[in-house]
Structure 1
């Protein structure tokens, strides 16, 4: 490993600064920085900022930065970057992904995300001789960095960190690292523990007893098994209350979800019948059902059951039907899509390449494509465009603040033949 003086000229796709020549990636640096870095195999460890970039600001979190003793939790990549250039860079991630597929489309300004708005956070934990170590993995490693605050999580999650740490200690019956997914819901936190070890009956009873005394926690599950539910955790999708399953997928922030819901609902407003693919627990289905008949398709049974239960209890919705189906193994065929005038799909990061091919052959007038991965979204949009669809708008949404991840909503229509 050698120390080098480097001029940082641009940012890479993961938020690392790239030195002149494009061969050395240095985390925690920005274009315009002149730095000393220890370099090994194309990666630099920041040692000192000799000349700071004009875009450099003081990070708001004490756990952010290259200091191996005091910071470096790995949850964020760009807290040291001023807002305007940060937002421009994040929007450019979407522009570049589209251009990489030869797609010309107007990309809207980035919809900003406020600090302390992330309602779902996944912590890493590990048993130690002094209780559980709770925090986030350091970037590029399996080392857990302990935290006592977090500037992206909701205030209720931050205030509950001592409770979460105590419950992690109760659950740490094995030596392996494990995860706690914490959802800020009503009336309290929903904690889903996922671990590579099993619980004995005394372990279960001890965790249940510990959870009873932690007021912020409404429910705790272990590897999908609900151990204690004081009250069912609930979220509101549009105007409908839903109790998602333990560890079930939800959008990271309520504000971003509302923006996405509005974009999709407005685009599909004239559709009498809509199909929602990869529906989850009903983020879009239950909003769309105020104006259209909706068929929701999802592979995860508990999420689909939560959607169905919520729809049956809600007042003022048009009919909602559900179908459990793995759309990667068995996509909706073109013939099955004939009954619908609108479609929304929100797949995992891998995208929906095979499903997009059937959508491209359909006659559905309006499609909304939602994704947390601009690269796979661009691939799927290319398929739809080749099938005759036209992109009307692309909106990037920053619900993953200070990271390299960005949510995108693309709206398409099939011109009348």
Structure 2
């Protein structure tokens, strides 16, 4: 029963990934249809992520009242309706209106499911959870590129993805009793798991407000930088390939899908590597690999190296987000993890809200050719934040409320 419940959670993460990568893949064609500037995609992305920030910040109260199952069901339904709205949108105004439910549909379920897996399962389950997000994020550009290449229709691409979301809504509705039986409400999910390490923090740490715990703000900054970099590659990768590398729009969308495929495959592989390496080592190695990929996109090398650069950026990004999430209860304690993960998700979406539009604004006034340099700067800053957290961890400055790899399954 618990394994089947985990599969349902994985399916929910496919639904989270599907819409995330579609706008960037479709934008070179959408931009021409609507006759708008390049950086408009950044404003749309900002609108989507803004709604997600709001729902992520409210995730604790919403999940506590309605339970993760109902929140997940409603959230996926909202994204399905929003994507259907993109298909029918007669003007840019309608796209911005549909962006609101698309964003609101993601935040609460994202924070809730991440905290549940972080506190109840081992690191490999967290990596595989986000691998399923990668499956959705990879399928999005593949579907869109197929319709753009064969029908020159981005609208039918959105329609197909909306129908997939509606199919997931049906699955979630039929399995809703299972959420109540196995997962319970958000309050029940935060109970101790049999076999987990006992927590004995001092009274001061118990009473500490999450934002005042040492290292929390640095961890939040890490999420902002990571999601900003990941979203920027997904949103502007196609435009960079079309405008600077002279690739057809359909081919560019396929290349971006390989970037997301790199994230997906990397997280599948990472799930097995977690048996040998800890989260800190995986984060460090992943960031170095992604940095190499961004550098390859800068260098004037043959196309195969450019394609390899996009795949390496995806492979490098793969372990970073799930490992940072899984470290949260280790670094700051289970009793603080739901609140802190909610804050981290809010900062993550803040990064994906403002950083890609910032790149788009700069590109509109300079050139989209700055794209790989921008990514290098973000990854380097993230690496610095990550290493600083590692130093604090080694010195014992961070509050350690949970031992590593002691949770169920």
TM-score (norm 1): 0.24
Q: Which has the larger radius of gyration?
A: 1
Q: Which has the higher helix share?
A: 2
TM-score, with length taken from structure 2: 0.24
